[in-house]
Structure formats: C-alpha cells, structure tokens
C-alpha cells in the first residue's frame, strides 16, 4: 500500500491526489500540495494544512511512479552555488572575542524570519561551516546567535534523518511507528560559532537556548509538538564536547553509509549520534510507551 509520509493511502486517496494534480491551477507543486491537504483533510492539530509534509510525500510518490508532478517552478536548489553578491557578511576583527559565556551581555537567538535574515544565515554557513550550505530539508527552524557585542554565529534545524539504527533502537521504534511519528524529531543540521569567537562554554549555552526555543517555536509554526532533537557529529574530526556539556545523550555511531547506498558500498565518514529528549513523556509522543 502506498503511503504519504507515514499515512496509508487507499486507491481512492491516490485517485484524489491524481485529480488534484490534473486540476491544479496554476499547475505548480505548491498548489497541488494545498489541494491534496484539502482533499485528504490532512491538517495539523491547529487545523492548518500540512503543506511541507505533503510536498515531501508527493515527491516520493512522484519518484515511485505513482503520480506525475510538474517540473519544479524554480528548481530545488540542489547543485546551485549560493549567491552572496551584495551580502554584508561580518569580517574577522583585529582581535578575537575571548572570555567566558558569563561575560556576554544579551546573549540570545534571533529567529530567521525574513529574506534578509535568511540570506545572512545562508551566507554565514556557506562561508564558515565546514559542511558548507545546503537547503535544510522539510520542516525547519533557523536562528542567528547574537549578543550586545554583535553576531556570534548561526544554528539551524531541519527534518530528522529517515532511518538511524542507533536512534531507532534506543527509542524502541519499529518501521510503521517511526514512519508515523518521525515528524516529532528535529535534526540540528548546522551549528556555527564564528571562528574569531573564542568564548568558553558558549556552544553548550547556545544549545540550551536552542532547545528551549524550538520546543515553543516548532508547534507554533507547524502545529505539532516536538519530542526529541538529534544531531550527527563527524568522527573523529569532532568529539561532540558541547553536546555532551548540554546534556545530549550519545547513542553510538552511524555505519558510514548514505541514504541511497542500497548495496552497502559507500564509505562516508562515520558520525556520532546524539539526542536530546525535550520532555519526560517523549517516548509516548513518539508512539512508544505511555
């Protein structure tokens, strides 16, 4: 049986989706997602259409050959070089910012809420993060790290990894339960402290601030509660010290395989898996336990 992001689809559901594709005006993927949410009554707990999840699910149906979507209007951004012309990125100061996190006044996270802030966040990651810039997948939250002294870095969260053996075993997920509840896990995909900011304990403090923010901001934006944060730290390049200091739990390592490695031949860097429960009943929200 076909599924749409964990939701089982009947033959009638698939026909309604195909009808939405045929009748979409304008014939664009965003409009199709709106029509599908309306046709299937697919809404969040606040009654808002689950547009992001619908678009991800529709793309999977398209790739499986079950529906045919129109070409993306503006492309999906993959392989594009991020344009930073006219973007005022901070330059390294003559002297690094040193001290301890207690020395910083007004430390806070600023949500990326407009195009200007989005371009700045993207540019920071592109220029100074070792993984570079890529669009975050699925539901996401991004923040600039600031204090009275100025801009300190950036942090971003996107959709959780589809399958992680160490994480799934620790939660107690089987395949159907994971599919149904994965949207309540958020992945810390990027975390950058600017290289001239050398402030002791800053990274772990930012992680604590971020955990407090996302548990409020995510349901306000997407209508779903968050249960768990995850992240992957490339080993042995990094030890995950700031995550450990912020009470994230180490679960083990990935197998060094990409999500498309069906023949187990990939030799990608192994990554340490860390998680942070956001509430005591996180397993209940993830479909396991009471």
**pLDDT tens digits along 31-57:** 999 999 999 988 876 788 888 778 878
Tokens of 257: 């395989």
Tokens of 156: 């971003």
Tokens of 198: 């050398």
The pLDDT of 68-76, averaged and rounded, is: 72
On average, the pLDDT of the chain sits at 87
Tally of residues, the chain: 290
Cα dihedral across residues 115, 116, 117, 118: positive or negative: positive
For residue 34, how many other CB atoms are within 10 A of its CB? 17
Q: How far is CA 192 from CA 7, 76, 217, 266, in A?
A: 35, 24, 20, 27
**223-244 pLDDT tens trace:** 889 999 999 998 877 889 999 9
Alpha helices in 155-201 (DSSP H): 165-171, 175-181
Furthest CA-CA distance within the chain = 65
Share of the chain above pLDDT 70, in %: 88
Reported pTM: 0.78
Q: Is the pLDDT of residue 100 over 50?
A: yes
- Helices 29-39 and 51-63: crossing angle in degrees, nearest 10, is 110
Backbone angles phi, psi at 175, to 5 degrees: -60, -50
Are the CB atoms for 48 and 223 separated by under 8 Å?
yes
Q: Please give the full DSSP string across 114-174, using - where no structure is assigned.
A: SHHHHHHHHHHHHHH-TT---PPPSS-EEEEEEETTEEEEEEEEEEPPS--HHHHHHHT--
């Amino acid at each position: 049986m076909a599924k749409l992001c964990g939701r089982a689809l009947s033959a009638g559901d698939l026909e309604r989706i195909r009808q939405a594709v045929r009748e979409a005006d304008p014939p664009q993927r965003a409009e199709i997602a709106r029509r599908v949410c309306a046709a299937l009554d697919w809404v969040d707990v606040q009654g808002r259409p689950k547009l992001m999840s619908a678009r991800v699910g529709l793309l999977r149906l398209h790739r499986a050959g079950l529906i045919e979507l129109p070409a993306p209007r503006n492309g999906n951004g993959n392989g594009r070089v991020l344009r930073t012309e006219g973007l005022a990125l901070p330059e390294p100061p003559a002297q690094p910012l040193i001290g301890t996190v207690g020395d910083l006044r007004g430390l806070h996270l600023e949500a990326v809420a407009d195009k200007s802030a989005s371009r700045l966040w993207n540019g920071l990651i592109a220029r100074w993060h070792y993984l570079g810039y890529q669009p975050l997948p699925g539901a996401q939250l991004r923040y600039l790290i600031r204090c009275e002294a100025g801009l300190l870095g950036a942090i971003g969260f996107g959709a959780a990894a589809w399958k992680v053996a160490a994480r799934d075993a620790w939660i107690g997920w089987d395949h159907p339960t994971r599919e149904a509840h994965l949207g309540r896990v958020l992945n810390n995909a990027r975390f950058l402290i600017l290289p001239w900011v050398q402030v002791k304990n800053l990274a772990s403090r930012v992680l604590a601030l971020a955990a407090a923010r996302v548990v409020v901001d995510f349901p306000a934006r997407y209508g779903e509660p968050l249960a768990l944060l995850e992240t992957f730290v490339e080993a042995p390049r990094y030890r995950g010290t700031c995550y450990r200091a912020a009470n994230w739990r180490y679960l083990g390592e990935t197998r060094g395989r990409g999500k498309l490695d069906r023949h187990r031949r990939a030799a990608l860097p192994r990554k340490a898996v860390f998680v942070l429960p956001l509430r005591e009943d996180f397993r209940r929200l993830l479909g396991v336990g009471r």
